[in-house]
């Protein structure tokens, strides 16, 4: 069995965290990692016990929702709350951090930012990362499947193809079926 890479593993965690977001504008997840271990996670949403954008709407001032705490900040604050050091850690974020989160990441001592998607990448944030020696790496998206019956489905399709071959089906058609099967189940 092929395993997903560490980058894909931690980025998948961030995408999972983003599903908890209460922001109606953009769902973001962040995972802080040190020594290949998850030390914190966060998603963008309101303060604990506060009204959420999904319930009350966004509270927008100067084109920014002030009701929301960003995913990166929530993850960093989780570390602060529980006394977990962030120095020399890495952070995996579904979207490139905003300028304020760039500054918080630098101050937290995080050394590498892995992100899945560009999102209004602020030139000054990029400059600050460079000056602080914070490395940024875009992680190409790979689909992660949680289908427990994947192997059973593959075997079923392979059996069908085998039966069609035995029945004398056209070789070009069979080749096409096999290519489609391989594409469907590629890792």
∠ CA 107-29-103, rounded to 5°: 20
Angstrom distance (rounded) from CA 170 to CA 148: 33
Angstrom distance (rounded) from CA 108 to CA 106: 5
Q: What are phi and psi of 184, to 5 degrees?
A: -60, -35
DSSP secondary structure string for all residues of 108-154: TT--EEEEEE--S--HHHHHHHHHHT-EEEEPPP------TTHHHHH
Among candidate residues 51, 72, 130, 142, the one labeled active-site is 72
**Annotation marks residue 56 as catalytic:** no
- Distance from chain centroid for Cα 22: 16
Q: Which residues belong to the active site?
A: 72
């Amino acid at each position: 069995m092929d395993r997903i890479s560490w980058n894909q593993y931690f980025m998948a965690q961030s995408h999972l965290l983003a599903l908890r977001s209460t922001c109606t504008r953009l769902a973001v997840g962040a995972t802080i990692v040190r020594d290949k271990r998850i030390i914190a996670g966060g998603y963008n949403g309101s303060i604990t016990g506060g009204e959420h954008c999904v319930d009350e709407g966004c509270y927008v001032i100067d084109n920014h929702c002030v009701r929301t705490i960003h995913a990166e900040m929530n993850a960093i604050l989780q570390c602060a709350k529980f006394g977990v050091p962030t120095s020399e850690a890495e952070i995996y974020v579904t979207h490139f951090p905003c300028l304020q989160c760039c500054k918080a990441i630098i101050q937290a001592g995080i050394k590498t930012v892995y992100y899945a998607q560009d999102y209004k990448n602020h030139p000054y944030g990029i400059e600050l990362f460079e000056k602080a020696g914070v490395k940024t790496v875009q992680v190409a998206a790979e689909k992660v499947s949680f289908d427990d019956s994947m192997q059973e489905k593959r075997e079923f399709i392979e059996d069908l193809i085998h039966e069609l071959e035995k029945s004398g089906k056209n070789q070009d058609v069979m080749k096409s079926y096999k290519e489609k099967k391989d594409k469907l189940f590629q890792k």
